Structure 1
Amino acid sequence: MKLLLVEDDSAMRLSLTRSFERRGLQVLAVDSGSAALERWPQWKPDVVVLDLSLPDIDGLDVLARARDQGLKSPVLILTARGTVGDRILGLNVGADDYLPKPFDLDELMARLQALGRRAGGGAGAGSEAAPGASFCGMRVESESGAIYHEGEVLELTPRESALLRALLARPGHAIAKERLFELVFPGQAEVQLEAIEVVAYRLRKRIAHTGAQLVTLRGLGYLLKAQT
């Protein structure tokens, strides 16, 4: 995924660039609004991370000009200006998501992946893990669908197994709660969406010893990551 990072703070820009590149993203980092507007159409990023407090052009003006020019890349606003008014204004101008500073890097990555998937059609999100795929020592057995950790079968309920198989399909990526609900409670219209939270709560305890962590992301869903 190609990312355009617009951030005037040099330390923050360098830190984010390194973090994104370690996670496999191609990053073009610029330090001003004018540079962003110049490089955006050339770079054609899949996602843009945009700070609002830029030295030459306010970030909201950068976004408005980009949209006027027909630049459609999803934009996540990342800023210390965390008031509700700024957030509403940013979304009205054309932002796709908003994350105030300070922020959690895992949440930022999950939000960027979600934006990238929506822009690209969401391929692969919320499917089941391929048999034999392994994460934190966990793998799905090809014939039975049972999930093993370090050679020992995990004692899970059918719903917990369905949830874990879905999360193992894309570790490190957020999967929407609604999609997970479809996989865990297929065809059960009488069950409330919130029921997936109960399954996730129980699964989080079941896998605590594996080195994997089930993370809840507000407004996005869940993701599976290695404990740090």
Structure 2
Amino acid sequence: MPHTLLLAEDDRAIRQALQRALTLEGYDVTAVDDGVQALAQGHLLCPDVLVLDVMMPGIDGLQVCRVLRAEGDRTPILMLTARVETADRIAGLDAGADDYVAKPFDVEEVFARLRALLRRADHRPDGEASAGNPLVVADLRIDGRARRAWRGERELELTRTEFDLLELLARNSGIVLDHPTIYDRIWGYDFGLGSKNLAVYVGYLRRKLDTPDTPALIHTVRGVGYVLREA
């Protein structure tokens, strides 16, 4: 059975071209042109994955994400955005998106990111994250079965990608993971040497983990990657 995909994009040319390309790639695509329809069709169709434009009339893509996540909907969401500043990317992650592609985009990159999101969704909850006892590093505790994490007594509100990244680093506590390894384990492919995608996710994860009263857990090893360890 083909994966069902809901596409919400208000630019007619982009919507039609992307719908055609995704259909040829084997997806069962439903396309709409605003956020109101995206929410309605999302509730009706229960798609395997959503592709949402950020800027849409009525309800924008960020608000669609917030509503779905507030309802407990964990469907993977890929955002399409013309905004490339770090703050705009962070806004998408904070709203509940799992990944994003900046316009103008290469359709092959969209395909790759969708494959990675679907692989990760298909592998839950029976994959590595659900095995064994909760992970504990310093005052960080991660429950893979429930997909919940705490720093001390404070529960962390994490997106799917943030949780996967934090868990990967915690399972390899004290070990420096290089960029290609992290890209392969979290996204299933390499974004390329010029990508800042990983740095954005790490930065936002740090903002959720650290407070002025707690030591940093995720450390940058310049030119190599990242490591999670006690201070």
TM range (shorter): 0.5 to 0.7
| Kept after mapping to 1: 8 A contact 2:50/2:77 | yes
Question: How far has the Cα of 1:47 moved from its partner?
Answer: 1.0
Q: 2:7 aligns with which of 5, 16, 27?
A: 5
8 Å Cα contact 1:41/1:71 also seen in 2: no
Look up the match of 1:199.
none
How far 1:217 sits from its partner (Å)?
3.1
Task: Give the C-alpha shift of residue 194 in structure 1.
Answer: 7.5
Cα distance in 2 for partners of 1:43, 1:23 equals 20
Larger Rg: 1 or 2? 1
Poorly superposed stretches of 4+, deviation over 2 Å: 192-196, 215-220
Contact persistence 1:7–1:30 (CA under 8 A): yes
CA 10–118 in structure 1, closer or farther in 2 if over 3 Å, else same = same
- Write the distance in 2 (CA, Å) between the matches of 1:92 and 1:119: 19
Q: Deviations over 1:85-119 (max 9, x none)?
A: 11101101111001110111111100000001101
The number of equivalent residue pairs is 135
Alpha carbon RMSD of aligned pairs, Å? 2.5
Identity percentage of aligned residues: 46
Q: Deviations over 1:44-101 (max 9, x none)?
A: 1111111011011121111101111222111011111222111101101111001110
Gaps of 5+ in 2: 125-176, 182-188, 198-231
Aligned counterpart, 1:71: 73
Cα deviation for residue 216 of structure 1 reads: 5.0
Match of 2:20 in 1: 18
Unmatched segments (≥5 aa) in structure 1: 123-191, 197-214, 221-228
Q: Aligned partners of 1:195, 1:94: CA distance in 2, in Å? A: 25
Aligned to 2:118: 116
Match among 37, 41, 47 for residue 35 of structure 1: 37
| Match in the other structure for 2:155 | none
Aligned CA distance change for structure 1 residues 32 and 194 (closer, same or farther; 3 Å): closer
TM-score normalised by structure 1 residue count: 0.54
Question: What CA distance in whole angstroms lies between the structure 1 residues aligned with 2:112 and 2:96?
Answer: 20
